[in-house]
Copies of this chain bind each other. A is one copy, B any other.
Amino acid sequence: MKQLSEIGEDALIEQLVKDLDQGDDVLVGPGDDCAVVDLGAGDVYQLLKTDAIVEGVHYLADTPAVEVGWKAVGRVLSDFAAMGGYPGNLLITIALAPDQEVCYVQELYRGLKKCADLHGAVICGGETSSVPHGSAAVISVAGTGWVKKQQLVRRSGGQVGDCVLVTGMLGGSIQGKHLSFTPRLEEAKWLTEYFAIRSMMDLSDGLARDLPRLAKASGCDFVIDEASLPCNHGCNAVQAMGDGEDYELLLTVSPLVVSELLESWSERFPSLPLTVVGELIEGQVSSAQGGWEHFTEIS
């Protein structure tokens, strides 16, 4: 019988969600950065997101708890940004060993709250549980967010010929950025307000895994111009594409607007690069490769 490590995360999720019925109010179900729900009120949709970080996978036992908390919330906020949205209320689930120190949990919460406060999110509830002695801790953050109807961007809106862009610098996140990144909420708000962003997602598993997902959702293939990649200091193109946990935005726009976008961007966000790294082309994505694969790489 097959194990999870043999099939990988994308194939697993595809199998799990294929029999799910979509609710009447669900505009976007599994397969995008957030679920999108039409509550039938006002000019916004509600976004729903859940995410978990695991000790020994996403952080280490000796990672400062305040940074662990920051990361747990930041990842969810990054997903709201990826749809052109902003956060609302968050629920925190922590599952920790009984011999964990109380002050660790207090620090963890300080980090959760710090990231939430800074980005306009509110922690409105949660749950605590124990894990057996020796088991990895798990911190799960679920939340509601909002997106203005006309600013909603999905992974699937890309078109053949679109320019592929990324915010920020890629690669080497394990050196520290993965614990202290800024969710690109402000940038996503600006992008979706002033430009026709055709498709977008956040870079959590690395360009080499995430761009194929976006291209596949958009019914296109893609090319990456490796020489153009904005590599973090000390990283080569392979690392920039494969390291993962960049928490930058990956987006596509028509080539007709890209010059204007780049010019306006550099005025609005002078210290954060926005770089054209490739193009959506005709064809089909064969299979994702590289990047961070949850089940196959740690086995």
Contacts and interface: CB of A to CB of B under 8 A. Distances in A.
Contacts of A16: 105-106, 109, 126, 128
B7 A102 contact: yes
Contact of A93 (B4, B51, B124): B51
A91 interface: yes
A41 B125 CA distance: 22
Contacts of A95: 52, 54, 138
Interface stretch (A31-39, A209-217, A261-269, A281-289): A31-39
A159 interface: no
A272 interface: no
A54 B128 contact: no
A129 B294 contact: yes
Contacts of A136: 131-132, 135-136
A288 B208 CA distance: 53
Interface stretch (A17-25, A191-199, A221-229, A245-253): A17-25
A180 interface: no
A98 B130 contact: no
Identical copies of this chain, number:
2
Q: Which of A25, A39, A134, A295 has the most CB of B within 10 A?
A: A295
B4 A98 contact: yes
Given A130-B298, A144-B48, A35 B125 contact: yes
Interface string A116-158: 0100001111111111111110101010100000000000000
Contacts of A233: none
A50 to B, nearest CB: 4
A123 B20 contact: yes
Interface string A4-15: 111101001101
A52 B295 contact: no
Interface hub of A37, A109, A124, A296 (most chain B Cβ within 10 A): A124
Nearest to A31: B125
A56 B97 CA distance: 12
A92 B5 CA distance: 20
A30 interface: yes
23 contacts: A1-B102, A4-B100, A4-B105, A4-B130, A13-B126, A16-B128, A21-B122, A23-B122, A30-B124, A41-B41, A49-B91, A50-B140, A52-B93, A53-B129, A54-B132, A54-B135, A128-B295, A129-B294, A131-B135, A133-B299, A134-B134, A135-B135, A135-B136
Q: Which 3 A-B pairs have the closest CB atoms?
A: A142-B142, A23-B122, A98-B299
